[in-house]
């Protein structure tokens, strides 16, 4: 029985295997966005609870399992950064705490390199690569990219679509 099938049947051993195989990668995604190791550890646990509760919504026809997990982790972290708690905490921190730690950066690199994602993103055209890096590695929304970098929202969306389409072809080659 595969990992996804085991998770969908509620097998605790499958959940343990999921955690062992994907925790470091998902933590890397989360800490890159949340920028705090303690909050990221809590968000990782929230992420695994969401995986457990929502595994039935995973559809292999729509994409790879790892992609589904990364998106769930990314969305969990982004939701957190939009929370009132995060806003208040950020106002109260001094600037030194806002810079990602070396541990966080290395965890992200482990997750990205495990999937070979960095090499695939590096193959994209420069404008598409930029948008994907801002969205998936820096945690920006499409609207935030448009606002912060002076790119029309429609252009951001079309570059994202183009990049994802191109990445899909790279994944299918492997």
Question: Residue 11 pLDDT more than 90?
Answer: no
- Name all domains of the chain by residue range, CATH numbers in brackets: 1-115 (1.10.1740.10), 117-174 (1.10.10.10)
DSSP 8-state code for residue 88: H
The angle formed by the CA atoms of residues 126, 132 and 135, to the nearest 5 degrees, is 140
Q: How many C-beta atoms lie closer than 10 Å to residue 165's C-beta?
A: 10
Q: What is the mean pLDDT of residues 83-97?
A: 57
| CA dihedral for 85, 91, 93, 95, sign (positive or negative) | positive
Residues 70 and 26 sit within 8 Å (Cβ to Cβ): yes
Most confident of 13-17, 97-101, 115-119: 13-17
- Confidence band, pLDDT 50/70/90 cuts, at residue 148: confident
Segment 15-31, tens digit of pLDDT: 889 888 889 999 988 99
Segment 25-71, tens digit of pLDDT: 999 889 988 888 888 999 999 999 999 899 988 888 888 898 899 99
- Which carries the bigger pLDDT value, residue 101 or residue 165? 165
């Amino acid at each position: 029985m595969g990992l996804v099938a085991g998770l969908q049947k509620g097998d605790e051993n499958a959940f343990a295997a999921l955690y062992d195989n994907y925790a470091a990668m998902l933590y890397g995604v989360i800490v890159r966005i949340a920028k705090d190791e303690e909050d990221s550890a809590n968000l990782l646990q929230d992420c695994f609870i969401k995986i457990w509760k929502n595994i039935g919504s995973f559809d292999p026809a729509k994409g790879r399992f790892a992609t589904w997990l990364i998106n769930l982790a990314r969305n969990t972290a982004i939701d957190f950064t939009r929370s009132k708690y995060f806003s208040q905490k950020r106002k109260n921190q001094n600037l030194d705490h806002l810079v990602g730690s070396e541990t966080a950066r290395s965890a992200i690199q482990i997750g990205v390199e495990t999937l070979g994602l960095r090499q695939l993103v590096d193959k994209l055209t420069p404008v598409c690569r930029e948008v994907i890096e801002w969205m998936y590695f820096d945690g920006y929304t499409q609207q935030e990219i448009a606002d912060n970098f002076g790119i029309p929202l429609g252009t951001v969306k079309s570059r994202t679509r183009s990049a994802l389409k191109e990445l899909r072809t790279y994944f299918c080659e492997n």
